Amino acid sequence: MIDLYYWPTPNGKKISIFLEETGTPYTLKPVDISHGDQFTPEYLKLNPNHRMPAIVDTEPKDGGAPVGVFESGAILFYLAEKTGKLWPQDLRTKYDVAQWVIWQMANQGPKLGEAGHFRRLGDREGDQSYAVRRFTDEANRLYGVLNMRLRDRRYLAGEDFTIADIISYPWTVNWQAQGQDINEFRHFKRWFEEVGARPGVQRGLAVGADLSTDQSKLAPEEQAHIRKILYNQRAIHLPD
Ligand SMILES: N[C@@H](CCC(=O)N[C@@H](CS)C(=O)NCC(=O)O)C(=O)O
């Protein structure tokens, strides 16, 4: 059985989409990142980077002790290998998938995350116009990369839907908040609509919808408290 340490954000939804698409049984373990669950000593043992998602496989293939995995890309590699699904193993497709999974982890996730962050921030911390422009442009560049890749193939790694599509899709759902217009990117838009119409993707996106609250509807003090947890992180020091 897979224990999924989860909160309903784009990085968490990569994993719930995989599990729903493949019909893999799992238990949801909520990690409320707006209240600091990612910093508990128990969770830090599983993910020293204090982020979610993470998984624990209580029945690993080798029959040994439970296996914990953090970083969504590594989790998808693990689950695809375990289930034998959504990661074709012929040499060429295997590395086409791997390069797009790593592209997502190193480029699309971090840059779109910063685009959303600075666009949401407003002028609370002073003038952010350079950061907003920088990351909105980067987001635009990355939508262009997807568009170019998808101009002559159905999915990111060819004709088959794979973990490369699963990992890239959830970050594009909020394209408007990233300051983009997907009508600029017609090949991407075709893929976006096709992936978004898959029942497994829709089920995965909906996982934990009841867990989070719309922060803009919270009292200003509560919003400030959440920002303090999420926006002011520095190193966790070892106990003396
Ligand atoms: N590279 C990590 C990123 C995970 C990540 O940034 N998760 C965010 C939510 S989308 C988180 O846990 N944030 C908690 C925090 O910022 O304290 C992955 O892909 O798993």
Q: What is the DSSP string of 24-46?
A: --EEEEE--GGGTGGGSHHHHHH
What integer pLDDT is reported at residue 172 of this predicted model? 98
Do domains 2-85+208-231 and 91-203 share one topology? The answer is: no
β-partners of residue 155 are: 158
**Ligand 1 pocket mutation pick from 51, 52, 71, 111 by most atoms within 8 angstroms of CB:** 51
What integer pLDDT is reported at residue 72 of this predicted model? 98
So what's the architecture of 91-203 in CATH? Up-down Bundle (1.20)
What integer pLDDT is reported at residue 230 of this predicted model? 93
Task: Compute the distance from residue 138 Cα to the ligand 1 centre, in Å.
Answer: 19
Question: Atom 6, ligand 1: which residue's CA is nearest?
Answer: 51
CA distance 51 to 37: 9
What integer pLDDT is reported at residue 41 of this predicted model? 95
Residues of the chain with pLDDT under 70: none
Q: What is the pLDDT of residues 148-167, one digit of tens each?
A: 999 999 999 999 999 999 99
Q: Which of 102, 166, 109, 165 is nearest to 139 (CA)?
A: 109
Question: Atom 16, ligand 1: which residue's CA is nearest?
Answer: 230
Atom of ligand 1 nearest to the CA of 9: 10
Ligand 1 site, residue 11, Cβ cutoff 6 A: yes
Regarding the domain with residue range 2-85+208-231, which homologous superfamily does it belong to in the CATH classification?
A: Glutaredoxin (3.40.30.10)
Ligand 1 site, residue 34, Cβ cutoff 6 A: no
Q: Output the six-digit token pair for 30.
A: 């909520």
For the beta carbon of residue 29, count every other beta carbon within 10 angstroms: 17
Category of 149 on φ-ψ map: left (φ > 0), alpha (ψ -120 to 50) or beta: alpha
What integer pLDDT is reported at residue 16 of this predicted model? 98
What integer pLDDT is reported at residue 123 of this predicted model? 86
Parse the chain into domains and list their residue ranges.
2-85+208-231, 91-203
Burial of 108 per CB tally in 10 Å (0-12, 13-18, 19+)? buried
Transcribe 154-183 into DSSP letters.
SBTTBSS--HHHHHHSGGGTTTTTTT--GG
CA distance 135 to 123: 16
